[in-house]
Chains A and B, each alone.
Chain A
Amino acid sequence: MNELTVSVSPHLRSGRTTQKIMLDVLIALSPALIASVVIFGWRCLLLTGVSAAMCVLCEFVWEKLMKQPVTVSDLSAVVTGVLLAFNVPSTMPVWELLVGDVVAIICVKMLFGGIGCNFVNPALVGRVVMFFSFTADMTNFPAPAGTIDALSSATPLALIRAGSIGWSEFGQIFIGVHGGVLGETCAAALILGGVYLCARRVIKPIIPLAYVGSCVLFSWIFGSFQPVIAAFSGGLLLGAIFMATDYVTSPTTNLGKLIFGLGCGLLTAMMRTFASSAGAVTFSILLMNLVVPYINDLTAPKPFGGVETK
């Protein structure tokens, strides 16, 4: 008789793993990557690849130095790297992007205990650091390659604020042929990725819908110009679909997710209307990340048949 394994039930597990979830996120990001290469050229691929590699390297080296088990195969560092690259213009010097990678992985992720322990989104903090350190390079938006039909290299948000574009340019905004950071411009590709993630049940659509919906609503209430078109431009879709839905830094319950999405939408609308449009999405999500523990506490599910003892 050979040895039998004795373990606690259940003896059947689903096929879902952290790695498969992260792979699905990468698949969902790929249309936007392809779009960025088409719009801004091959340098996008270089930036994305280098950024992902740097994030993986940072995690690997840190874990080796700290004598921790190496977890790079869960692909979460790759996701962070790709998202960071998506947040910079295609003209960004590589070394500056690498600084963002180090900040994201070492300072935000690993110093707080690695995957599952960071209290804010690593990619967004990396972006903020790059934004303030290299403001000129971070806001130097290149014109799309082969700019025959493209809008000028100013971002649509800036143009909307200036009142110089409207619905006639919506088509170009939707397919992303305009200035911006490399992953944010093509709304069509981002929405495609979002639908894929929802279909694969990696994320629920609550946060993206609440975020974008409330952002449009509040922008309209605040009297912002062209709130609907604005929703498809800037980093809103990238943020709402891929950043705000990060498991670790978003609430657990559906009600919590709704509150989180609405909060992000309100903050973004306020910043876009009353302050600078640059970084509105980033700061909104980061601020809401900070209150997630409180939202989780307030929206904890009520146990079925639970009786309070005190």
Chain B
Amino acid sequence: MNLRKLHGVHVPHRKNTADMAPVRMPVPATVTIPMSMHIGAPAAPAVKAGDSVKVGQLIANAGGFVSSPVYASVSGKVKKIDDMLMSTGRSMKAVTVESDGEQTPFEGLRPPEVADLKSFLDAVRDSGVVGLGGAGFPTAVKLSVKDLSQIEAVIINGAECEPYVTSDTRTMLDDADWIAKGIGLLQKYLKAKRVIIGIEANKPQCVKAMEDMAKTMTGVEVMALPPVYPQGGEKVLIYHTTGRIVPEGKLPIDAGAVVINCTTLAAIAKYIETGMPLVEKVVTVDGSAVREPKNVIAPIGASMQSLFDFCGGFKADPKKVLYGGPMMGIAVPNTEFPVMKNTNAILALAEKDAILPEPTACIRCGSCVDACPLNLMPAAIEAAYNKRNVDKLRALHANLCMECGCCSFVCPAKRMLVQTNKLAKGLIAADNAAKKAEAERKAKEAGEKEKKEAVAK
């Protein structure tokens, strides 16, 4: 165990829904399922308008290795396949299904045959499961470790450090059996010798549930970690559980670790045992504008509005609506956006929580440096970005930033440090691309020159 803890901030927890077991919402009239609910290539639609689909039926194939298939979350008719605006600002194909309200499961659903590592990874891929903690990285890709002996520890992420969000909490409390089965699969097929479940110590009920589960297994340990945001950040969690550091530009496996979110693991286990792929999510619905905060079991593709309606509507005018928690969540312009695979919470904030503070001059208090878990200097990065000094930004390792939000959270001058760091990353990427294009152009010119000279000779 390491002695030094990484920096971070104490955020208000506001886990109002921690004691609320998830409740199933009524089937919405339509669901809109985007083809990109993961990092990587969008899925390719496998149905057309007018087709009948049933729950769990494939509606889109994975669009590449780093991609994930998509399944129908309701039974009914495909109404249309068209472009929708995503929260990222890009437009994306989406399949809209009109529900018949029956929720008939697809007849073709069978538990996959899993016998070895390859068939296990195929099953993970077919499950449609991606990083459900929010990142949305295809889990099959994450688990495709070339050399299994590299894996020193598999870390189950139950930190759930974002305020409000309690969907992982509920998984640990309600689905411990599924987590146990998932751990069994990892032990069997990934040869995981050491399994660590990392949970913030402010969730003693989860720590207890997982400890009770771990008692019945071998090689599983539960670590209660200090409740300092961003405990659930991958690099932070690896360091605090194993003391290993993930080098810049490398993956967790380079530090001997595989990190998997507890809800993700449970979803994989469910698919392998029942054959039902990922078609619904437990979503925490909360925020100062929501009348009755709840944990809702929602079909993927259900509109945010339908979830808010199920939670009694709004008690105050919502002024900001988010996918995810308030520290890293994404604000959306309206409530028609759908629940996606990686949606763990949707929040509606009333005016008092939505006011954007006016940034004032940096007073160089150093709070951002003290808060950054990765030891970056956000204020210096901001200054370098303002001068468009790409070399300086590289020297300050702006690309390491995981955009956890600690710096902006603590800044007394309310500077938009995360936003600036995102822009800084973009500037570095643009500069890299320009340099690459320049090098290619020069190489091409040199080649042409050589050709001409050869012809002249």
Q: Are B335 and A10 in contact (CB under 8 A)?
A: no
Q: Which of A5, A10, A18 contacts B319 (CB 8 A)?
A: A5
| Given known contacts A21-B365, A71-B361, A303-B248, A9 and B320 CB-to-CB distance under 8 angstroms | no
Q: Which of B245, B318, B363, B405 contacts A18 (CB 8 A)?
A: B363
Contact with A along B147-175 (1 / 0, CB 8 A): 00000000000000001000000000000
Specify the chain B residue showing the minimal Cβ separation from A115.
B361
| Given known contacts A116-B363, A252-B364, A301-B375, A2 and B356 CB-to-CB distance under 8 angstroms | no
Contact with A along B353-377 (1 / 0, CB 8 A): 1101100111111110100011111
Q: Are A12 and B361 in contact (CB under 8 A)?
A: no
Q: Are B375 and A302 in contact (CB under 8 A)?
A: yes
A residues within 8 A CB of B416? Answer: 8
With A and B bound together, what is the CA distance between A1 and B308 in angstroms? 13
B residues within 8 A CB of A171? Answer: none
Q: Are A11 and B320 in contact (CB under 8 A)?
A: yes
Q: Are B333 and A8 in contact (CB under 8 A)?
A: no
Could you pull out 29 A-B pairs where Cβ atoms are within 8 angstroms? A4-B333, A6-B320, A8-B416, A8-B418, A9-B408, A10-B418, A11-B327, A12-B326, A12-B327, A13-B357, A14-B409, A16-B410, A17-B414, A18-B363, A18-B413, A115-B361, A247-B363, A248-B364, A252-B369, A252-B377, A301-B376, A303-B396, A304-B374, A304-B400, A305-B250, A305-B374, A306-B248, A306-B375, A306-B400
A residues within 8 A CB of B376? Answer: 301, 303
A48 CB, min distance to chain B CBs, angstroms: 23
Q: Are B319 and A116 in contact (CB under 8 A)?
A: no
Q: Tell me whether B450 is interfacial, beta carbon within 8 Å.
A: no
- Which residues does A use to contact B, with CB under 8 Å? 1-14, 16-18, 20-21, 71, 74, 76, 114-117, 247-248, 252-253, 300-307, 309
Specify the chain A residue showing the minimal Cβ separation from B391.
A310
B350 CB, min distance to chain A CBs, angstroms: 11
With A and B bound together, what is the CA distance between A184 and B397 in angstroms? 44
Contact with A along B305-347 (1 / 0, CB 8 A): 0000000000001111110001111111111000000000000
A63 CB, min distance to chain B CBs, angstroms: 12
With A and B bound together, what is the CA distance between A50 and B239 in angstroms? 54
Specify the chain A residue showing the minimal Cβ separation from B369.
A252
Q: Tell me whether B11 is interfacial, beta carbon within 8 Å.
A: yes
The 6 residue pairs across chains A and B that have the minimum distance between CB atoms: A10-B405, A12-B326, A252-B366, A8-B419, A303-B397, A301-B375
B390 CB, min distance to chain A CBs, angstroms: 12
A residues within 8 A CB of B414? Answer: 13, 17
With A and B bound together, what is the CA distance between A8 and B239 in angstroms? 27
B residues within 8 A CB of A3? Answer: 319
Which B241-261 residues have C-beta < 8 A from chain A?
245-250
Q: Are A307 and B249 in contact (CB under 8 A)?
A: yes
Q: Are B332 and A14 in contact (CB under 8 A)?
A: no
Q: Are A4 and B320 in contact (CB under 8 A)?
A: yes
B residues within 8 A CB of A253? Answer: 366, 369
With A and B bound together, what is the CA distance between A218 and B406 in angstroms? 40
Q: Are A4 and B321 in contact (CB under 8 A)?
A: yes
Q: Tell me whether B412 is interfacial, beta carbon within 8 Å.
A: yes
Q: Are B331 and A11 in contact (CB under 8 A)?
A: yes
B residues within 8 A CB of A7? Answer: 320, 331, 356
With A and B bound together, what is the CA distance between A116 and B363 in angstroms? 4
With A and B bound together, what is the CA distance between A300 and B374 in angstroms? 13
Q: Are B319 and A4 in contact (CB under 8 A)?
A: yes
How many interface residues does B have (CB within 8 Å)?
65
B residues within 8 A CB of A1? Answer: 334-335
Q: Are B329 and A9 in contact (CB under 8 A)?
A: yes
A residues within 8 A CB of B418? Answer: 8-10
Q: Are B332 and A303 in contact (CB under 8 A)?
A: no
Q: Are B327 and A10 in contact (CB under 8 A)?
A: yes
Q: Tell me whether B9 is interfacial, beta carbon within 8 Å.
A: yes
A121 CB, min distance to chain B CBs, angstroms: 13
Q: Are A16 and B367 in contact (CB under 8 A)?
A: yes
B366 CB, min distance to chain A CBs, angstroms: 4
Q: Are B375 and A303 in contact (CB under 8 A)?
A: yes
A290 CB, min distance to chain B CBs, angstroms: 15
| Given known contacts A1-B335, A116-B361, A253-B369, A10 and B408 CB-to-CB distance under 8 angstroms | yes
| Given known contacts A5-B354, A9-B328, A11-B320, A303 and B374 CB-to-CB distance under 8 angstroms | yes
With A and B bound together, what is the CA distance between A279 and B360 in angstroms? 34
B residues within 8 A CB of A21? Answer: 363, 365, 412
B372 CB, min distance to chain A CBs, angstroms: 8
B303 CB, min distance to chain A CBs, angstroms: 12
Q: Are B405 and A71 in contact (CB under 8 A)?
A: no
B residues within 8 A CB of A116? Answer: 361-364, 413
A residues within 8 A CB of B335? Answer: 1, 4
Q: Tell me whether B394 is interfacial, beta carbon within 8 Å.
A: yes
- With A2-B318, A9-B327, A247-B363 already in contact, 5 other A-B pairs whose C-beta atoms are closer than 8 Å: A2-B319, A9-B329, A11-B331, A252-B366, A303-B376
With A and B bound together, what is the CA distance between A307 and B422 in angstroms? 20
Q: Are A17 and B248 in contact (CB under 8 A)?
A: no
Q: Tell me whether B403 is interfacial, beta carbon within 8 Å.
A: yes
Q: Are A115 and B375 in contact (CB under 8 A)?
A: no
Q: Tell me whether B114 is interfacial, beta carbon within 8 Å.
A: no
Q: Are A9 and B330 in contact (CB under 8 A)?
A: yes
Specify the chain A residue showing the minimal Cβ separation from B356.
A7
Q: Are A18 and B412 in contact (CB under 8 A)?
A: yes
A307 CB, min distance to chain B CBs, angstroms: 4
A residues within 8 A CB of B413? Answer: 17-18, 116
With A and B bound together, what is the CA distance between A6 and B88 in angstroms? 11
With A and B bound together, what is the CA distance between A114 and B321 in angstroms? 37
B residues within 8 A CB of A4? Answer: 318-321, 331-335
B residues within 8 A CB of A5? Answer: 319-320, 331, 354, 356
| Of B11, B328, B361, B394, most A-chain CB atoms within 10 Å | B361
Specify the chain B residue showing the minimal Cβ separation from A247.
B365
With A and B bound together, what is the CA distance between A41 and B374 in angstroms? 52
Q: Are A12 and B245 in contact (CB under 8 A)?
A: no
A253 CB, min distance to chain B CBs, angstroms: 7
With A and B bound together, what is the CA distance between A14 and B322 in angstroms? 19
Q: Which of A11, A18, A301, A309 contacts B322 (CB 8 A)?
A: A11
With A and B bound together, what is the CA distance between A18 and B414 in angstroms? 9
Q: Are B361 and A6 in contact (CB under 8 A)?
A: no
Q: Which of A16, A252, A302, A304 contacts B412 (CB 8 A)?
A: A16
| Of A10, A17, A247, A303, most B-chain CB atoms within 10 Å | A10
Q: Which of B245, B373, B394, B403 contacts A9 (CB 8 A)?
A: B403
| Given known contacts A303-B400, A305-B245, A6 and B333 CB-to-CB distance under 8 angstroms | yes
Specify the chain A residue showing the minimal Cβ separation from B87.
A6
Q: Are A12 and B412 in contact (CB under 8 A)?
A: no
B59 CB, min distance to chain A CBs, angstroms: 29
Q: Are B360 and A74 in contact (CB under 8 A)?
A: yes
B residues within 8 A CB of A14? Answer: 9, 409-410, 412
Specify the chain B residue showing the minimal Cβ separation from A306.
B397
